[in-house]
Chain A
């Protein structure tokens, strides 16, 4: 106490006091702030947020700005959207599928091997979620295919998704080199997050449009497709292109082979 008392007339005392007051205000605000409903955000500890911020500044700030405020691309340089309010779900999807950090510019950002451990992704997500309220990472139960109704999922998928992602989720082309990816290997959590956040060209399907239960139904439908096709070879489920190729090359090839054999003289 003596030391404190001795220094209260120090030149920098007002600055130190101001800083302390600011920190206190910030802390009180953070505590008094209405608790967000999502579980992931509540579970994210202060240290996660801090660690996430470090990771963010090291790996993401070049494009998204030091405080995730976004940066305009100047002269073909790197630029990225603001991440304030995109939520933990967007981070978990973009980083968890390897799309972020982006490797190169192009028609669209491509999925690639994941660059971070799930632990680091969670820290990044906690940091981005702390910047503004946004959709949270869904719980295990929310994405459990065995709890969904695949038949209802099919009706929803047909109406909302099939036009871009193909009737069984085999993917398809969009304009100018963009495409809707195949969903064969996408994890249920990432499917859920994609619907919730609408990455890149994909529109957002929020919980008012497709309710959480309906999202799980869609996941259940896609999960059913992974068991394979009951009719045998699906040939990529691409429709007339692969089926036509098969019929013309293999089918007609066999017919020609058989005719040649029947017509040839026996030795």
Chain B
């Protein structure tokens, strides 16, 4: 211990007196009487207030039941709103009245003398602890686990294996299957017609005017075994721009006279990218703001996506309807599928 005395670290009390050796427990605050404790009128008033709060609760509950009986939700938004409002108000008053009354009662009418309750020590007495350790030791000795090696092995194995009975079905049910390749295949085949989502009308190339954006599903989607699963993979955004505006495409001749079709599933984490700005030809993803340039092979111009939206090669059939030349040539959706297979 240093004998050097540094006054800057010396602690003193506020009035300059030296610190005491030990702080005394200040105990509870001095009890202060409430108005109601000395004035019977005030007490009577507090009692009335509690009664009023309970009465509000009673009225609220009755009101809720009456509203339920007399104001049905009905057909229009206005009546639904009124019905919800009255039911909710009744419930609110019914519960809030009870709560406020209980708290007010406890605070103003019940006695408010402070009391201190000491905690119990958490540890058991020494005698009990010695006994417990002894019991455990005796059990271990009785099972002779140290000598019976096979028994020990069997026990450890069974304990280690059991969680698999829960884990395997749990993991196995994720996504319903581990056939990763099915995420690479969509319904688009050579000659599949492009149809309008949701009506399923086929689209004539001549109907797609410049500046248009069509939300497209493959023909026959409704007849597929799992229409929603197929739709989730096959949705396409089709736009038409002045062919002179097209800077590049993902494949030679994949567009038709300025009509371009791209997968609508973002290559970042799979949100539907469908915000199309017809003047800049940008396609935006609403989830993380990935931006693709439809005029430039759907290249990523902003945001976290890593690769362009796959382009669907299209052409027209004999009747002038737009059809796919083939399926997508790269996997649709988030990029990790590409790495998996």
Interface residues of B in 260-279 (CB under 8 A from A): 272, 274-279
Query: Most chain-A CB neighbours within 10 Å: which of B84, B112, B198?
Result: B198
B197–chain A nearest beta-carbon distance, Å: 5
The 9 closest A-B pairs by CB, nearest first: A208-B207, A203-B213, A230-B80, A227-B77, A266-B107, A201-B277, A204-B211, A163-B274, A203-B278
Q: How far is the CA of A30 from the CA of B239 in the complex (A)?
A: 35
Q: How far is the CA of A160 from the CA of B199 in the complex (A)?
A: 12
| A163, B286: Cβ atoms closer than 8 Å | yes
Give the total of A residues in contact with B, Cβ under 8 Å: 34
| A175, B277: Cβ atoms closer than 8 Å | yes
Chain A residues, Cβ within 8 Å of B211: 198, 203-204
Interface residues of A in 160-179 (CB under 8 A from B): 160, 163-164, 172, 174-175, 178
| A198, B278: Cβ atoms closer than 8 Å | yes
By beta carbon, the residue of chain A nearest B214 is A209
Chain B residues, Cβ within 8 Å of A106: none
Interface of B is mostly: mixed
| B209, A204: Cβ atoms closer than 8 Å | yes
Chain B residues, Cβ within 8 Å of A164: 275
| B81, A156: Cβ atoms closer than 8 Å | no
| A230, B77: Cβ atoms closer than 8 Å | yes
Size class of the B contact interface (CB-based, 8 Å)? 35 or more
User: Contact string, B204-215, partner A, CB cutoff 8 A, digits 1/0?
Assistant: 100111111111
Say if the beta carbon of B146 comes within 8 Å of chain A: no
By beta carbon, the residue of chain B nearest A108 is B279
By beta carbon, the residue of chain B nearest A158 is B198
- B residues near A (Cβ < 8 Å) are 32, 34-36, 76-78, 80-81, 84-85, 88, 103, 107-108, 112, 196-199, 203-204, 207-215, 239, 272, 274-280, 282, 284, 286, 289, 291, 302
Chain A residues, Cβ within 8 Å of B272: 163
Q: How far is the CA of A203 from the CA of B272 in the complex (A)?
A: 17
Chain A residues, Cβ within 8 Å of B78: 227-228
B50–chain A nearest beta-carbon distance, Å: 12
| B208, A208: Cβ atoms closer than 8 Å | yes
| B280, A201: Cβ atoms closer than 8 Å | yes
| B215, A231: Cβ atoms closer than 8 Å | no
| B239, A230: Cβ atoms closer than 8 Å | no
| B239, A203: Cβ atoms closer than 8 Å | yes
B85–chain A nearest beta-carbon distance, Å: 7
Q: How far is the CA of A172 from the CA of B207 in the complex (A)?
A: 29
Chain A residues, Cβ within 8 Å of B214: 209
